[in-house]
Chains A and B, each alone.
Chain A
Amino acid sequence: MILLQVVVSGLLMGAVYALFSSGLTLIWGMMNVVNFAHGDFVMLAMYVAFFAYTLFHLGPAIFIPAAAALLFVLGVVVYMALVRHIARGPMLAQILGTFGLALVLRYAAFWAFSANFVSLPDTLVGGTFDLGGLRIEASRLLGGVLALVITIGLHLVLTRTMLGSRLLAVAEDRSAAMLMGIRPDRMQALAWGVGAAAAGVAGALIALFFYISPTVGESLTLIAFVVVCLGGFGSVPGALIAGLTIGVIQALSAYLLGAVYQDAVVYALFLLVLWVRPQGLMGSAA
Chain B
Amino acid sequence: MTRRIGIAILCGFVLIAGWPLLTEDVFLQRIGALVLLAAISASAWNLIGGYAGQVSLGHAAYFGTGAYAALVVYDQLGWPPIAGAPVGVVVSLALAAIVGTPTFRLRGHYFTMATIAEAELIRILASNWALLGAAVGLMGPAVPRGIADLSFISPLPYYYLFLAVLVMLLWLTWMMQRSRMGFYLAAIRGGDRAARSLGVPVLRYKLYALLLSAGFTSLAGTLYAVMVGFIDPDSGLGILLSVKMVIIAALGGAGTLFGPLVGAIILIPLEQLTNDVFGGSGTGITFIVYGAIIVLIARFQPGGMAEIWRHVIARAARRRAA
Which residues on A are within 8 Å of B, measured CB to CB? 34, 82, 85-86, 89-97, 99-108, 110-111, 218, 222, 225-226, 229, 260-261, 263-264, 267-268, 270-271, 274-275, 278
Which residues on B are within 8 Å of A, measured CB to CB? 49, 53, 55, 57, 99, 102-103, 105-106, 108-110, 112-114, 116-118, 120-121, 124-125, 127-128, 239, 243, 246-247, 250, 254, 281, 284-288, 290-299, 302
Nearest B residue to A101 via CB reads B295
Classify the secondary structure of A's interface with B: helix
Residues B243 and A103 in contact, CB atoms below 8 Å apart: yes
Q: How far is the CB of A13 from chain B (nearest CB, A)?
A: 19
Q: Once bound together, how far apart are the Cα atoms of A184 and B114, in whole Å?
A: 30
Q: Once bound together, how far apart are the Cα atoms of A206 and B295, in whole Å?
A: 28
Residues B128 and A86 in contact, CB atoms below 8 Å apart: no
Residues A92 and B243 in contact, CB atoms below 8 Å apart: no
User: 24 A-B pairs, CB-CB below 8 angstroms?
Assistant: A82-B295, A82-B298, A86-B299, A89-B298, A91-B55, A92-B302, A93-B302, A94-B109, A95-B109, A95-B112, A96-B250, A99-B291, A103-B243, A103-B291, A107-B285, A107-B287, A107-B291, A111-B285, A261-B128, A263-B124, A267-B118, A271-B99, A278-B106, A278-B110
Nearest B residue to A268 via CB reads B121
By a CB distance below 8 angstroms, the chain B residues around A92 are 49, 53, 55, 250, 254, 298, 302
Q: How far is the CB of B123 from chain A (nearest CB, A)?
A: 9
Given contacts A95-B55, A96-B250, A104-B288, contact A264 B124 (CB under 8 A): yes
Given contacts A107-B287, A110-B284, A274-B114, contact A100 B108 (CB under 8 A): no
Nearest A residue to B117 via CB reads A267
Nearest B residue to A109 via CB reads B284
A-B CB proximity, top 4 nearest: A103-B291, A100-B294, A97-B298, A104-B291
Classify the secondary structure of B's interface with A: helix
Q: Once bound together, how far apart are the Cα atoms of A97 and B299, in whole Å?
A: 7
Q: How far is the CB of B305 from chain A (nearest CB, A)?
A: 14
Q: Once bound together, how far apart are the Cα atoms of A277 and B53, in whole Å?
A: 22
By a CB distance below 8 angstroms, the chain B residues around A82 are 295, 298-299
Residues A103 and B113 in contact, CB atoms below 8 Å apart: no
Q: Once bound together, how far apart are the Cα atoms of A261 and B293, in whole Å?
A: 34
Pick from B99, B118, B243: contact of A99, CB below 8 A: B243
Residues B102 and A275 in contact, CB atoms below 8 Å apart: yes
Given contacts A94-B109, A111-B285, A260-B127, contact A100 B302 (CB under 8 A): no
Given contacts A222-B116, A275-B103, contact A103 B121 (CB under 8 A): no
Q: Once bound together, how far apart are the Cα atoms of A263 and B117, in whole Å?
A: 10
By a CB distance below 8 angstroms, the chain B residues around A107 are 284-288, 291
Residues A271 and B121 in contact, CB atoms below 8 Å apart: yes
Residues B120 and A102 in contact, CB atoms below 8 Å apart: no
Q: Once bound together, how far apart are the Cα atoms of A93 and B303, in whole Å?
A: 9
Q: Which residue of A34, A96, A111, A275 has the most chain B CB atoms within 10 A of its CB atom?
A: A96
By a CB distance below 8 angstroms, the chain B residues around A275 are 102-103, 105
Given contacts A260-B128, A264-B125, contact A91 B118 (CB under 8 A): no
Q: A92-B254, A94-B298, A96-B246 are in contact. List 11 more A-B contacts (CB 8 A).
A: A91-B55, A101-B291, A102-B291, A107-B285, A111-B285, A229-B110, A263-B120, A274-B102, A274-B103, A274-B114, A278-B110
